[in-house]
Structure 1
């Protein structure tokens, strides 16, 4: 996603009548005016500079996961130490390096001075502050437990960050090796195979069918490389478009969960995130219906999202949260049984927390196993590709040597 801070040109006067001209970055025109008023300036002209030259554009997320966790941890520590909310925001805005977050905190501090609540001010920056965090802060403001909520959210997002790192570490290696395999194959077909093709042609000998196939593939790659690249881009584009459709995305998410080896790993990571989120919400006194609804919105996998929504409907009918989960293949007995026990004992948040810890440990073990299993498979795969191309060259070489 792109994150934009708009540049405004303004003309204003100081209290002594001195004319001031300048440029100011802000989220919108209203906030720009508020910021200028805070500087004791009397604004009589302000206009947006639409040129892309005056905009900061951030490709991808405007803040990294680890920076966001650090911000929450620092924010939680300051509030827990008894520092006033406004002072804490001003302290953080001065020491945070991330520009979008720093500017957002400056604007939030100005809005709080006007009497706007922290959650309401944060809600204006959805690309920086997730809905889950904003809702939890709103709950903390209403209950007077903002310090506890911030601490829980810092713990929660720290766990989520570690979870993402585990998933990323496990899946990055095969992706890198796969990309290397493609690049090596293209290199051999475009630069190495043609050298031997000319050599074979000069001898005029009939080539084995397998060698001829590789030579034809090499010639096609050289001649139509741009079509191959465009086709790759087109496939990626079509896939992204398909994932935007709920029905297609639901099927893709379901297939992903059933892929051998990788599917089990993805399943554990999803269940770990789901139980962590639901446990944190319930522990913060969020009503269970609202907690399940928020958790379903947090989940990116449509299969889990659908089951959670069915669980919410089950609760609305006065039935157990676990009934739809028991009927679905993705949810193991451990989760459904622990939820049932938690509901009957009134300690659902504690039971979910224990399940989250179990899956967190299992995910770490699964990550190590996945890497140890995939590594030799990928090495064999890469060796097979290179070996197949080299073999297509060596086979006719033996025939040529026999003629001399």
Structure 2
């Protein structure tokens, strides 16, 4: 008997596929028809060759470096959208997971989906199986999926979740663009000026000293700076490296992260940008949770867990505690890192009974404010950087020019 591969429609009209052993293609189609399966396409298959092809494809796919990159927000957006589409097409949760898994490119996400499928086969719910992988799926995602399971609107919840992730991703992109460019320019200028002071100026000074030319004061000052850097650099360099390492190490502990996050919030311009980003994300998340039927208290607690800045997270925890003892939401928002606009809008939402709609508007407002803040930061930082970098490089070239003028005055 040979083995045949088929594509067909089942008794409910849903697409299905598989393999069947039969004497010939006609006999295979007849057997499938007896099982109430309407055959669309059937052909003889070679299990061994297909298995070998599958192994080759998997081996070549494993060589792709992109498969081993960490899972980003964009990957989860695609996964949630595909998952929702499969559910709308009539797939069961397990079938939708398996179908979505085949379309993923990151090994970490594929492995997570596999593990979720195994837990669901063991009787676990989708939300419970997601909650095990805390690094990949946040409490916000898990709670929204649980709401979708209870309400029967899991596909709609997944679409909302994907949209929320896209908004959060855009906020992070705007925030990083505001901070990344100035740091790159400043670091590049430091490297260029250091190279001139440590390597170029000393060689030029040696050339002048051979000709018995007195060095101008500006050139001598640069030489002193270069000598000091070379002399103490062996100590200063490792000391700075250790300090940076300690800062990163402290950031991995909650106490250290809380202190550093508070420092970031108090920085001019940068702190406001971080606050606006957090409020925009909070507005959208609260709107999504409230619209899904979750009480305000639970929504605040979940949103607090999702906040990246620990100082802002503490404010959400305190707001939830205030709400628990009976205070209004607008009064609960009287926390250190909550802007006044957030409190007023919460009061409007409570009075109108449309808190979810108001929080959605809050998210849009703070996203617009963040975009304006990013433009303002760029407009203010770029001229300052030009002055700093231009001043440093200009001073170095001025010192060299003075030395050249000393030679031309008869230092030969």
Structure 1 residue aligned with 2:348, among 320, 341, 345? 341
What is the aligned partner in structure 1 of residue 309 from structure 2?
Answer: 301
Kindly indicate whether the alpha-carbon contact (under 8 Å) linking 1:338 and 1:351 is maintained by their aligned counterparts in 2: yes
- CA offset digits 1:192-231 (Å, max 9, x no partner): 1222121232234443444223112223444554444323
Secondary structure at the aligned position of 2:288 is classed as: helix
What is the aligned partner in structure 1 of residue 245 from structure 2?
Answer: 237
Alignment of 1:31-42 (within 5 A): none
Give the whole-Å Cα distance in 1 for the aligned partners of 2:234 and 2:85: 55
Structure 1 residue aligned with 2:324, among 307, 316, 331? 316
Structure 2 residue aligned with 1:375, among 358, 379, 382? 382
- CA offset digits 1:307-362 (Å, max 9, x no partner): 2122112111111222253363x433321111012123322111111111111122
Q: Measure how far apart 1:71 and its partner are.
A: 1.4
Q: Measure how far apart 1:140 and its partner are.
A: 2.0
Give the whole-Å Cα distance in 2 for the aligned partners of 1:349 and 1:290: 14
Secondary structure at the aligned position of 1:126 is classed as: coil
Kindly indicate whether the alpha-carbon contact (under 8 Å) linking 2:84 and 2:159 is maintained by their aligned counterparts in 1: yes
TM-score by length of 2: 0.77
Give the whole-Å Cα distance in 1 for the aligned partners of 2:114 and 2:261: 40
Alignment of 1:180-195 (within 5 A): 180-195=188-203
Kindly indicate whether the alpha-carbon contact (under 8 Å) linking 2:205 and 2:215 is maintained by their aligned counterparts in 1: no
Structure 2 residue aligned with 1:214, among 203, 207, 222? 222
Give the whole-Å Cα distance in 2 for the aligned partners of 1:352 and 1:297: 18
Give the whole-Å Cα distance in 2 for the aligned partners of 1:254 and 1:62: 28
Kindly indicate whether the alpha-carbon contact (under 8 Å) linking 1:62 and 1:128 is maintained by their aligned counterparts in 2: no
Which structure 1 residue ranges, 4+ long, deviate > 6 Å from structure 2?
57-61
Structure 2 residue aligned with 1:151, among 146, 156, 159? 159
Structure 1: gaps (5+ residues): 1-56
Q: Measure how far apart 1:156 and its partner are.
A: 0.8
What is the aligned partner in structure 1 of residue 373 from structure 2?
Answer: 366
2:409 paired with 1:396: no
Secondary structure at the aligned position of 1:326 is classed as: coil
Alignment of 1:106-185 (within 5 A): 106-185=114-193
TM-score by length of 1: 0.78
Secondary structure at the aligned position of 2:333 is classed as: helix
Kindly indicate whether the alpha-carbon contact (under 8 Å) linking 2:86 and 2:99 is maintained by their aligned counterparts in 1: no
| Range with bigger deviation, 282-291 or 237-246 | 237-246
Kindly indicate whether the alpha-carbon contact (under 8 Å) linking 1:253 and 1:301 is maintained by their aligned counterparts in 2: yes
Alignment of 1:55-74 (within 5 A): 62-74=70-82
Structure 2 residue aligned with 1:269, among 266, 273, 277? 277
Kindly indicate whether the alpha-carbon contact (under 8 Å) linking 2:138 and 2:306 is maintained by their aligned counterparts in 1: no
Kindly indicate whether the alpha-carbon contact (under 8 Å) linking 1:61 and 1:127 is maintained by their aligned counterparts in 2: no
Alignment of 1:5-16 (within 5 A): none
Give the whole-Å Cα distance in 1 for the aligned partners of 2:67 and 2:237: 23
Residues 368 and 126 from structure 1, CA distance in 2 versus in 1: closer, same or farther, beyond 3 angstroms? same
Residues 135 and 333 from structure 1, CA distance in 2 versus in 1: closer, same or farther, beyond 3 angstroms? same
What is the aligned partner in structure 2 of residue 282 from structure 1?
Answer: 290
Give the whole-Å Cα distance in 2 for the aligned partners of 1:101 and 1:248: 30
Aligned residues: 348
Give the whole-Å Cα distance in 2 for the aligned partners of 1:59 and 1:197: 54
- CA offset digits 1:150-178 (Å, max 9, x no partner): 12111111111111111122222112112
Q: Measure how far apart 1:131 and its partner are.
A: 2.3
Structure 2: gaps (5+ residues): 1-64
| Range with bigger deviation, 251-260 or 172-181 | 251-260
- CA offset digits 1:112-167 (Å, max 9, x no partner): 22222112222222222222212221222233222222121111111111111111
Residues 113 and 170 from structure 1, CA distance in 2 versus in 1: closer, same or farther, beyond 3 angstroms? same
Larger C-alpha radius of gyration, 1 or 2?
2
Residues 110 and 317 from structure 1, CA distance in 2 versus in 1: closer, same or farther, beyond 3 angstroms? closer
Kindly indicate whether the alpha-carbon contact (under 8 Å) linking 2:139 and 2:305 is maintained by their aligned counterparts in 1: no
What is the aligned partner in structure 2 of residue 52 from structure 1?
Answer: none
